[in-house]
Structures are given as C-alpha cells and as structure tokens.
Amino acid sequence: MGRVTLIQVLALISLLIIFPNLAFAQLKQNYYSNICPNVETIVRNTVKAKVQQTFVTIPGTLRLFFHDCFVQGCDASVMIASRGSNTAEKDHQDNLSLAGDGFDTVIKAKAAVDAVPSCRNKVSCADILTMATRDVVMLAGGPSYAVELGRLDGLSSKAANVNGKLPKPNMSLDQLNAIFAANGLTQADMIALSGAHTLGFSHCNQFTNRIYNFSKQNQVDPTLNKTYAAQLQQQCPKNVDPRIAINMDPNTPRTFDNVYFKNLQQGKGLFTSDQVLFTDSRSKQTVNSWASSPQAFNNAFVAAMTKLGRVGVKKGQNGNIRRDCSAFN
C-alpha cells in the first residue's frame, strides 16, 4: 500500500462531514451469525411473550426506537437511567410519556440473549431494540423485514441533548421535514414513519387545543372531521385527566396497516402534524397513494426504518456493549 496523502485524508474528513452516518457501513444483515447465531429467534420469542402479556409492548417498543434514533443516533442512549448529577434522555419532558413496556421488552430480551453463554455481552442493547422493533411491527400485522445489525451502545445520555430533536404534535410540514432531514431522511421517509401512528395511543393534553381552543375564529380545528371531533370531546372533556389514553387510529388501533392514511383523507388525523400530511398539497399525493396501496406503504416503511436504523451508529471507541441496558459499564 502506498502512503496515505493529505488529500486523501482531507477527502475522507469531508465525506464524514457531508455524510455523518457513514458509520453505518459496519452494519449488515446476519451480523451475529458467527457470534450468537440464534439471537434473532431469542429476541423474537421474548417479544412474543411480552406482547401476549400486554399489547402496549407493540407501540411502546416502536416509539422507543424512534425516540432513541432521533437523539444521538440509534445507540440505546434512551435506555440509560438518570444517576447522580446526570439527568438522562429518558427523563426529558418529551420522553416521560414513553411506555415502560418498551424499556421492559429490551431488558427482558437482553437477559434472554445473555442467558446463552456464547452470546453473553456480545449483543448490543441498540441492536436488541432494533430487532424488537421489527418484531413488534410484524406481530401487529405489518411487514417482516431483515434488519441490519452491528451497532454499539452509546457512551453518553443527557436530557439536554433531546431539545428540539423530536417531532411535536403541532408541527407544520416544513418543521417535520427539517427534523427528519437532520437525520438524513426525506419527506417520503417522514410520511412513511408517521404511518406508525396506525398503532397505539396518545394522551388528551397532546391535542386538546384542536378540539377546544384552536383559534379566535374556530373553537375546533376546521380540518378535523366534525363527527371525529365530537368523539374526541366526549373522550377528553374539559379538565379531564390529561393522561387519559386515546387511540391514534380510531378504526384499527391494534393493527399495523394503511388505515392511518385513509383516516387522514377523512379528517381523522389525531395531531395537527398528522392531518397536515393531507392538507398540505406537497404531501397529499403520497398520502393518497399509500391509502390506496398497503404494499406501497409497507415497502416505503421498511425502507425508511432501514435508513433510520443507520443514523448515528457508534463504532470503535465511540461505543461498547452494555452489560445492563439501563446503565453504562
């Protein structure tokens, strides 16, 4: 091999600046085939058992994956518990509503993997979360897909790092696009990943502005279906406990399907950030396309999840494999 020239070094540095996710090059399918060959079966069996205990496992795990990857990349930093003077990501205001069942799923799967002597401390929490997320999507009737593995767990978790990184229920299309673009994701990726709102629930305080005090001219958001708005007012009367849970998809809340997009066509998006995907002409065509084709949506969702799973991957000295997913080694 010849000497590495300064030009080559500068070229590599510039590539890393332009493409910060190049670390994902270490990811590959069947990464653990020689290290822990049955890892995907072990994780899937744990997830199945957990789903049988409570359906919340499904949306809880899926949401945990999003919240992890959007802050510092997919490195299980959201799993870390606050200790001493460090307030960790999971205790940031935007993460307090993450379901405990999502965390519990990863912890139980990690314990099952580490119970196999040849696998102990060989599989990262970040990879276990990635596998478990694929499995809950499949168990809810969604597509099964091969996951890329090989992530290390992150070495830091700070609540301050969450600020401004996660989508909010009241965001415009431009704001959503900006947050997703910061993670190398396109508008189509954003719309596909928003389709995860076909599962699970939210809380009254996340959307009461749309049904009681939207604007001076309109008490109720005019983009909301009137019948749906009345249903939401019934479920979330004024001064109700804001933690009351409401299904994100009023029709098939326990099935991963394309009904989310059909709901948007009818004015039944729960959040402003859902309904805007249909009311904004720039995204409306994609919503219509996926409302009419479950397969097209599934394909787009798998592609977007694969891209999301490559964000901020840690390697080398920037990560390790945690013995306990909730604590640094």
Work out whether strand 153-154 and strand 245-247 pair parallel, antiparallel, or are unpaired. Answer: unpaired
Residue 224 makes CB contacts below 8 A (sequence gap 6+) with 210, 211, 232, 267, 268, 275
For the chain, residues with pLDDT lower than 50 are 1-2, 16-21
User: What pTM value is reported for the model?
Assistant: 0.91
d(CA 121, CA 223): 51
Annotated binding site for substrate: 167
The residue count for the chain: 329
Q: Could you say which DSSP state residue 218 is in?
A: -
- Which CATH number is 38-162's, of 1.10.3210.10, 1.10.520.10, 3.30.110.70, 1.10.3720.10? 1.10.520.10
pLDDT at res. 7: 59
Helical ranges in the chain per DSSP H: 6-18, 39-53, 57-69, 100-114, 125-139, 173-181, 187-194, 208-212, 226-235, 259-265, 272-279, 281-292, 294-308
Enumerate the domain spans of the chain. 38-162, 173-309
pLDDT at res. 26: 86
pLDDT at res. 18: 46
Annotated binding site for Ca(2+): 68, 71, 73, 75, 77, 89, 198, 249, 252, 257
Q: Report the alpha-carbon angle 303-308-309, nearest 5.
A: 100
* φ and ψ of 246, to 5 deg: -125, 135
Using DSSP, state whether 84 is helix, strand or coil. Answer: coil
**Which CATH number is 173-309 given?**
1.10.420.10
pLDDT at res. 242: 82
Residue 116 makes CB contacts below 8 A (sequence gap 6+) with 36, 38, 42
Active site residues: 67
Long-range pairs, 253-257, Cβ under 8 A, ≥24: 253/198, 253/199, 253/200, 253/201, 254/55, 254/58, 254/140, 254/199, 255/140, 255/141, 255/198, 255/199, 256/137, 256/140, 256/141, 256/142, 256/198, 256/199, 257/141, 257/142, 257/198, 257/294
Long-range pairs, 284-288, Cβ under 8 A, ≥24: 286/187, 286/188, 286/191, 287/191, 287/261, 288/261
Q: Is the CB of residue 75 less than 8 Å from the CB of residue 314?
A: yes
Angle (deg, nearest 10), helices 125-139 and 57-69:
140
Q: Is the CB of residue 120 less than 8 Å from the CB of residue 114?
A: yes
d(CA 143, CA 166): 25
